[in-house]
Amino acid sequence: MVPGRDHLFTRSLGVVDRRHDAVRASGTLDRVNRLAEETSPYLRQHRDNPVDWYPWGSEAFDAARDRNVPILLSVGYSACHWCHVMAHECFEDDEVAARMNALFVNVKVDREERPDVDAVYMDAVQAMTGRGGWPMTVFMTADGEPFYGGTYFPKDSFLKLMEAIDDVHRNRPDDLRQNVTALVNAIDATSRVDPAPDIPGVDQLNAAIQNLARGFDAEWGGFGKEPKFPSTFHVELMLRAYMATAGDGPKQIITTTLDAMCSGGMYDHVGGGFARYSTDREWLVPHFEKMLYDQALLVGAYLHSLIVIGQPQWKQVIEETIGYVLTDLRHPDGGFFSAEDADSLDAEGHSVEGAFSTWTPDEVRGALADTAPDIVEDLIEWFGITDDGNFEGRSIPNRLHARGQLLRTPELEAATRALQEARARRPRPGLDDKVLTEWNALFLSALTRAAAVFGRRDWLDAAIANGEFLLRELRDDRGRWYRSWQADGTPRARHAALAADHAALVDAFTRLAETTGEARWIEAAVSTADTMLEWFWDPENGGLYTTAEDAEQLIVRQKDVADNATPSANSSAAIALYRLGALTGEQRYANQADRILQLLGGLIEKSAAMLSNALVAVDLRRRGTTEVVIVGERPDLVRLAQSIWRPDTVLAWGEPYDSPLWDDRSEGFAYVCRDYACQAPQDTVQGLAEALTGRKVEIREVTSDPGA
């Protein structure tokens, strides 16, 4: 938190400096820079800085060559707290801006719009410093070659650094060139990964699971020390280990982690949804920004764990998280916004981290003046709100004192909704209202699965609207995809989509087909998969490059291989291609997925913790897929098939499409197959349940409530 920071927050532009709205005495507006023409809310936050910012592009590189000066690249994102801190201390400061403008061509990048640019230079920063993060600050030549970088710099340090960089550039070109050579070699590493001779096997899978288990925090859940991130891919991998062995170890890891996360302050107990990560071991104090991709991945992890393990509190978490996204992050046309900021205005008008989400007991009492006093006091106790507070003198609502006990009485539920309504009258955090293809597809996939399992038609309608939005707004007439969309932009859709966008779309469209029974979604998945393989595939070593063959050429052409906050393009594509291949009978998709796993297999021995989603793909390959096809009007069989989630199962029903799954089938029957060799057809719910589970089961009623 930076005292005195006086940004004005709006829902349409995210965080905007007050000076942009200030009118001079003469009646004219303050000068704005080139970023005023950008659609990214993060870039527009800097449009009235005294820094002479350029967006990423040829104009900036040409200017650097003309002036014979380096480029200063600053990368961040709208919900990044420390990005705002550095902006206030440096980029809004006239002294700092004057030196930046005199010594460099200054380029600002939204890492969410251009993760390809971000990844290249983040690798350089990590190679130099051993760590990374945002804001990212990189000094590079006019040809885009990095020679020095770091993350956050306060004003005095930044001023000294700029003078030192200028001196090196002018007086020590050989030293600069030596740095460039070493860094370019380091950041090109992913393009030179040699594939393993074979697909990773069960031994590598088990070794990785055991290694992850050693890093498990048995008391508070999660992996490693603070700060703690959700690590949803680790949880998903442990869930598959539990399904294979029914062992107590994986189950403990899953239940402890999921219960601790949703009981802490990282989970928004008043409005639903998760913050990005926890600053402490106990999941109490988060960085308060909320990212769409976290909601997507956490809904998936809680949903799958709910079905397999059956903790009813996880159902509440899923419902509240989806409710948050559909209420606060949804564009009326169907797209989902990217994020909400960590900071908002407090009662004194200062921008403060967590101001929107934290309370004092007296604030709760004032907000619930119409609620019975005993209920108000019960709610204060329920959420652990105290006079001393747990965060800078205020309280983050939490349930860590009663971990996993989330279900509220009707009286407390009514009081919580009243508190939510009161909170809605506070100044909201800034909204990053760009719509990102990859993140939308990740949430679409999770929302579609949840709609099927819960039998929620309203969720399915929202999912269909999102799929239609993506096809309508982010795909051009040639069938090529864009990365980003913003309602006020001209044009609205910008930036060529990356491999990760395509991989997430293939998975999302496939899941929409499985949930709706509509053939159009399989057609969209096939078209997108073919585009991905045509433009991103490496025919020599296998795997997907981050950028398309005809895209802007950066200084290196990397491959996205590490599972970080979001799945890597390659691991996501492997899973999506296996599943699409099983539904369509197109062996080429499975063959390409195999080659991806061979590529990633060369990395698993060294970096298994960064490849958990890749290991989920390995597990799917090891299991093989189970194909289920239901022919004719049998909603009872469809409902059952959708309620029994298995990671290796794909479902075809409704409108037939080009696939051997539909060949020689009889109306009214369900077929459970492996590699298109099928068991005896089933026409009863009992028979299908036993065919799917491989055991005798008692069918009480096919319910839409997985927590029942």
Give 340-358 as a DSSP string. E-SEEE-TTS-EEETTTT-
Tokens 């928004």, located at residue: 268
Q: Are 369 and 359 in contact (CB under 8 A)?
A: no
- What are the structure tokens assigned to 410, written together? 């009707």
Distance CA 133, CA 76 (A): 9
Pairing state between β 53-55 and 343-345: unpaired
Distance CA 447, CA 609 (A): 27
- Going 313 to 314 to 318 to 320, the CA torsion angle's sign is positive
Q: Are 356 and 344 in contact (CB under 8 A)?
A: yes
φ, ψ of residue 435 in degrees (nearest 5): -110, 115
Q: Are 49 and 92 in contact (CB under 8 A)?
A: yes
| Cα separation values, 505 from 216, 382, 634, Å | 32, 41, 28
| Closest to 669 measured CA to CA, from 653, 646, 657 | 653
- The C-alpha angle with vertex 577 and arms to 589 and 691, in degrees rounded to 5, equals 105
Q: What is the pLDDT of residue 17?
A: 33
The reply to whether 7-187 and 434-624 are identical in fold is: no
Residue 53: Cβ-neighbour burial (10 angstroms; 0-12, 13-18, 19+): buried
- What are the structure tokens assigned to 645, written together? 């989630």
Gyration radius from the chain CA atoms: 26
Distance CA 546, CA 536 (A): 7
Q: Is domain 434-624 classified as CATH 1.50.10.10?
A: yes
What is the distance in angstroms between the CA of the first residue and the CA of the last residue of the chain? 44
> Which residues does residue 672 pair with via DSSP β-bridges, in sequence order?
628
Splitting the chain (708 residues) into consecutive groups of 10 residues, what average pLDDT does each group show? Answer: 28 32 35 92 95 97 98 95 94 98 98 97 94 96 96 97 97 94 90 91 94 96 95 97 92 98 98 97 96 98 97 98 98 98 92 95 98 98 98 97 98 98 96 97 98 97 98 97 95 97 98 98 98 97 97 95 97 98 98 97 88 97 96 97 93 97 96 94 96 80 53
3-state secondary structure of 11: coil
Q: What is the pLDDT of residue 697?
A: 74
Tokens 């919900």, located at residue: 79
Strands in 105-110's sheet, in edge-to-edge order, are: 53-55, 105-110, 71-76, 136-140, 146-150
Q: What is the pLDDT of residue 388?
A: 97
Topology of the domain covering 7-187: Glutaredoxin (3.40.30)
Beta strands in 126-255 (DSSP E): 136-140, 146-150
Distance CA 139, CA 556 (A): 17
Distance CA 380, CA 395 (A): 10
Q: What is the pLDDT of residue 15?
A: 33
Q: Are 42 and 55 in contact (CB under 8 A)?
A: no
Q: Are 127 and 187 in contact (CB under 8 A)?
A: yes
Give me the residue spans of the domains in the chain: 7-187, 218-329+357-425, 434-624, 626-693
